[in-house]
Each structure stands twice: as C-alpha cells, then as structure tokens.
Amino acid sequence: MIYTVSFTFKDGVDDSQELEHAYRFFGDLKERGLIVGCRILRDQKNATESGSGRFLALVEFEDQEALGVGMKEVAAIGYKTGLHGAMIGSVDEFSVGFWDIVEELK
C-alpha cells in the first residue's frame, strides 16, 4: 500500500532545511519497521501551475494494517508533536492519497 502526501511549504522557509524534518520522520519509521520505504519527489514545474503540491512523498506500507499502526501512533502522541510535528510545522498546504500496488516490475 502506498500513502501519498502532496505538500508545499509556507513562503519564506528553506525547503532543504524543512525536508530534513521529513527525512528524519520517515527514517525513524523505516528503522522501526513501520514502513517499507519512502521517496520524496520535487515537482519540476511551479506547484501552482501543476495544481498539486511542490513535493510528493510516496510512503510504502506493508499493508493497510501497517498503515493503521503508524496512523494510530501519530494520533496517540499528537500530530503536532515529536518528529511528525517538526515535519508539518512549516507545511502550508497538503493533500493525501491511498494507493494499492497492482503490479510491480522487478
């Protein structure tokens, strides 16, 4: 299962510094076996032109149950605290999606 987050940072923040928060958050989840992996993509166009966020995080979970464990953990500590809070502190707009992997080429 892939969880996607399209997001844009607030004006005036340093993208590279703020992305470090995302790397730490998702890295922690991976180290603890809560996610399979994560990729963060940067839109090559202006986000307002493409109609989506400037960045897109593709977070792979083993299955829907694993996604639920991660979501419950964030909810339990509070989504504005800890590594998750640091990650979203400078986010201006975001949208999420949930995708099932139909087939994977290896």
pTM reported for the whole predicted model: 0.85
Nearest alpha carbon to residue 28 among 77, 96, 63: 77
CATH of 2-99, one of 3.10.105.10, 3.30.70.100, 3.20.20.220, 3.40.50.150: 3.30.70.100
> pLDDT value at position 51?
57
Domain ranges of the chain: 2-99
Report the relative pairing of strands 55-60 and 2-9 from DSSP bridges.
antiparallel
Distance in angstroms between the alpha carbons of the first and the last residue of the chain: 17
Averages of pLDDT over runs of 10 residues in the chain (106 residues) are 93 92 94 94 72 86 91 88 90 93 86
Measured between alpha carbons, how far is 70 from 61 in angstroms, rounded to an integer?
A: 9
Q: What is the dihedral of CA 48, 26, 81, 56, to 10 degrees?
A: 10
What is the token pair recorded at 70? 């991660």
> pLDDT value at position 46?
65
> pLDDT value at position 27?
95
> pLDDT value at position 79?
86
